[in-house]
Structure 1
Amino acid sequence: MLSLADQSTLFGLCVALGIGLLVGAERERRKGSGPKRVAAGIRTFVVCALLGAVSVILGDGLLLAVTTLIVGVGVFIAYQRIQDQDPGMTTEFALLLTCLLGGLAIRESMLAAAVGVVLALLLAAKDRLHHFVRSVLTAQELKDIILFSAMALIVLPLAPDRFMGPFDAINPRAVARLIVAVMAISALGYLAMRALGARYGLPLAGFAAGFVSSTATIYAMGERVSRQPAMMSGAVAGAVLSSIATIIQMMVVIGLIQTSLLTALVWPLSLGGFAASLYGLLFVWQKDAVSAAENAGDDIGRAFSLKSAAVFAGLVSLILLLSAALNAYLGARGMWLGAALTGLADAHATAASAASLMADNKISSAQAVGPILIGLTSNTLMKAIVAFKSGGVQYAKRIVPGLVLMILAVWVGAWLG
């Protein structure tokens, strides 16, 4: 019977074989025929994958490096023969990567298999990728993708993850994360508009983005309206519907921590979500402004604005700084004041805090309901401020009634309960 080490090695060899077959099958279809055909086909790729695997088994990383070098020399010779007919080097580099993946399969089988599948998909999607980049993606969209990637993959990981500044209120990593979230939400709305139009795209994007941050969604929709007022109805619908996501998330958080507290809050939170849904759908059904937006042509603006995202993050940071200052100078004035201050930035944090206290038998269900609703109310106030700041008076006067209706329904539900 094989030992565990032998079983792992055998499994790695099977994965290497599978990678070679998968990538090689794709390349075989594009290999061509005759004397000018591409050198590497399915057999070559399988052999290279197994060479990499056997090299790791026999000599670890050093032998794999030598094997890869030999394969690289062979690839170079083959490329010199066909470079006049096929100036691309995709097959040659894919062959080198397949050799390395074969070696990786002995150590990290699942990782090697995942990379192998991605490689095969990239090779198979050649025509679609070329068409998308050359014909569908605009120059401005490409710049936005690069900018977003730089923010998400470079700036965000490098931002310090610690509290600093006055009252230790600002976390640079949290600020950077907020900027990236606003950019992503705005880009989601942009993609939804391209796919579905303003009438249906923005409401759906707003609801989905609300699970990331409803406040950031309202800000992003307001920024889009300030640039293109014809999209007012769709943006307002998306902004209001994002608040439903806030309520759903709050119910999930409370239910996971303290089920009995969720039972006490189901009625008020459900009423609030129902009111927001009705108000948001009113703007979905409006056709006048939406039709103007959809007839405006292909110019639907940019995916996002880095400056606007930074302004929003600065506004939230200012609110956090003021909250920390109030706590420092006034001290804890009871749970309700703390809930109101915390709710300005995040209603879910207030709900989680109250539910945790109840789970520890420090407060009763009746005592927990009040702070949660206070936090939700102050968070709604923050959304109203953000709506005015991002979209101006015309945007805010359409958003605020929906927010007020939602929060009134919540409090009425609590009173009836």
Structure 2
Amino acid sequence: MQTLLWHLLAATLIGFAVGLERERAKVERQGSAIGGVRTFTLLGLLGGVSALGPNLWLPAAGLLAVAGLAVYSLRNSRDATSQVAALTVYVLGVLCGLGTVLPALFAGALLLGFLAFHDELHAFAGGIQRSEVEAAVLLALLLGVVYPLLPDANYGPYGVWNPREIWQVVLLVAGVNFVGYLALRLLGSKGLWAAALMGGLVSSTAVTLSMVAQGRANPSRNPLWASGAVLASQMMLGRILVWSATAPALLQILWLPIAVWLLWGLLTAAWLARRDRNVSESIPVQNPLQLQSALLFAGVYALVKLLTRVGLEVFGSAGVFVVSALSGVADVDAISLSLARLTASEQLILQVAAIAILIAALSNTLFKTMLSFGAGRLGVYVALGLLPGGLLALLTMLGR
């Protein structure tokens, strides 16, 4: 019974949030929307309640009723946004009632975002250029045509090169570049930081490479690009804490050094953002896909993966620090999770694993800093935001 009540609460909250936004839009634009906060809240609740029945005829009947209401309200409105939103809220309420709460909440957040950024989306759509359409089509071809044709098998020395895996790196970097471009077009500086944080959840190196490309095209905004690269790296540190949590004893050792590193990075990112003296100016962005940088990074990734395997063969398990340094250049997550699992199974000493994870993070940080010097002075800003924090974290670790 308690679970059902939570499901109904989630359905109601989705309707309430969308209703607040629709109420605001109705007041600002003086439109004749289908309803406001009360109507949408009731629609969400109606969807949740209708899904509690023994069969699906009640949700279907409710959907027909809401659709009829939406069609009727269109007679007094030229904008169908509120009507479609009402139908969506009802369906999301039904999903909550059926127990599919998390996807429904995620879809509700997306719906709220699309509604809230009405003006920005319309301005963006009106300014779409041919190069942007071509970039989107090319990205779709890379994902939907090229990727399925590549073999999912291991080749090369030690079998370390998998064409499909390497192409995933190309798609990752190209996708981060494209998402960052869209965010910059829509939200300016705020969009840059949002894209950096989201991209950092996947690959802070890919975000750094994207910032380097922007720094080459517009070096006067280097503090801004550097703040994006530094922010993305803070997400890398957050991921390390998540992997370390699989071995609680390891997390106890690592949390303080990582917290020190995070604090330094966040403070530096804020300082770099304030140092951007052209904050009132629009941010020029070029080449929304930047496929060349994606291909270059994939090549570096493949080379580092081979060097890592060679390091394992030469040094063996005793060379865990060397292997961590080599592995960290390409992927901190894999080595962090591997060391955490070895520690949890008592196959590796806690202190050794903790230092090895920090070495991997420092190796990755050094690699990103070297990449950032490809845009000249950008490298100085990125180094300031990343390296001192890493050294402080290592000193904190050794001093415990």
Identify the match of residue 383 of structure 2 among 400, 406, 411: 400
Amino acid at match of 1:276: G
1: CA distance, partners of 2:187 / 2:52: 48
Matched, 1:279 2:291: no
Determine if the alignment matches structure 1 residue 269 to structure 2 residue 258.
Answer: yes
- Which residue, 219, 223, 229 being the options, matches 1:239? 229
Q: Does 1:215 align with 2:215?
A: no
1:317 aligns with 2:361: no
Alignment of 1:145 onto 2:145: no
Aligned to 1:304: 289
Partner Cα separation in structure 2 for residue 363 and residue 146 of structure 1? 48
Question: Equivalent residues in 2 for 1:12-161 (5 A)?
Answer: 12-23=56-67, 25-27=69-71, 135-161=126-152
Aligned partner (choices 385, 393, 396) of residue 410 of structure 1: 393
Assess if the C-alpha contact under 8 Å between 2:269 and 2:385 holds in 1.
Answer: yes
Count matched residues: 321
Match of 1:354 among 329, 339, 345: 339
In the TM superposition, what is the alpha-carbon distance from 1:400 to its structure 2 partner? 2.0
Residue deviations 1:132-151 (CA, integer Å, cap 9, x gap): 78624333222222222233
Q: In 2, are the aligned partners of 1:203 and 1:235 still within 8 Å (CA)?
A: no
- Residues 355-387 of structure 1 show CA distances to partners (whole Å, capped at 9, x for unaligned) of 111111222322322211221122122212322
Task: Give the whole-Å Cα distance in 2 for the aligned partners of 1:14 and 1:25.
Answer: 17
Mapped contact 1:203–1:284 kept (Cα < 8 A): no
Shift of residue 155 of structure 1?
3.2
CA contact (8 A) 1:225 1:232 kept: yes
Assess, with a 3 A threshold, how the Cα gap between structure 1 residues 171 and 21 changes in structure 2: closer, same or farther. Answer: farther
Segments of 5+ residues of structure 1 without an aligned counterpart are 1-6, 33-109
Cα 1:9–1:316, aligned 2, differ >3 Å: closer, same or farther? same
Q: TM-score, normalised by structure 2?
A: 0.69
In structure 2, do the counterparts of structure 1 residues 154 and 133 end up closer, same or farther at CA, with 3 Å as the change threshold?
A: farther
Equivalence map 1:166-185=2 (5 Å)? 166-185=157-176
Question: Residues 175 and 274 (structure 1 numbering): CA distance in 2 closer, same or farther, change over 3 Å?
Answer: same
Question: How far, CA to CA, are the matches of 1:153 and 1:247 in structure 2?
Answer: 32
Q: CA RMSD of the aligned region, Å? A: 3.6
d(CA) in 2 for partners of 1:398 and 1:168? 38
Whole-angstrom CA distance in 1 between matches of 2:331 and 2:209: 15
Identity %: 26
**Equivalent in the alignment of 2:9:** none
- In structure 2, do the counterparts of structure 1 residues 304 and 262 end up closer, same or farther at CA, with 3 Å as the change threshold? same
Mark the runs of 5 or more structure 2 residues left unpaired by the alignment: 1-50, 77-99
Query: Residue 334 of structure 1: SS of its match in structure 2?
Result: helix
Which position in structure 2 is the counterpart of 1:57?
none
Q: Distance in 1 between matches of 2:380 and 2:124?
A: 40
Task: Report the CA distance between 1:31 and its aligned residue.
Answer: 7.8
Question: What is the rounded CA distance, in whole Å, between the counterparts of 1:154 and 1:379 in structure 2?
Answer: 32
Q: CA deviation at 1:8?
A: 12
Q: Does the aligned pair in 2 maintain the 1:269–1:413 contact within 8 Å?
A: no
Contact 2:213 2:375 in 1 (8 A): no
Q: Which letter maps to 2:139?
A: F
Q: Which deviations, in whole Å up to 9, do the C-alpha atoms of 1:27-79 show, x marking residues without a partner?
A: 555589xxxxxxxxxxxxxxxxxxxxxxxxxxxxxxxxxxxxxxxxxxxxxxx
**How much has 1:160 moved relative to structure 2?**
3.1
Name the amino acid aligned to 1:272.
W
Alpha-carbon distance, 1:201 to partner: 3.3
The structure with more radius of gyration: 1
Match of 1:385 among 364, 370, 380: 370
Cα distance in structure 2, aligned partners of 1:349 and 1:230: 36
Evaluate the alpha carbon distance shift between residue 227 and residue 336 of structure 1 in structure 2; reply closer, same or farther with a 3 A threshold: same
Q: 1:408 to 1:8 in 2, by over 3 A?
A: closer
Structure 1 CA distance, aligned partners of 2:151 and 2:296? 20
- Equivalent-residue separation in structure 2 for 1:359 and 1:185 (angstroms): 34
The CA deviation at 1:312 is 1.3
2-side partners of 1:365 and 1:331: how far apart? 19
Counterpart residue number, 1:11: 55
Whole-angstrom CA distance in 1 between matches of 2:336 and 2:127 = 44
Task: Give the TM-score normalised by the residue count of structure 1.
Answer: 0.67
Instruction: Supply the AA of the counterpart residue of 1:408.
Output: L
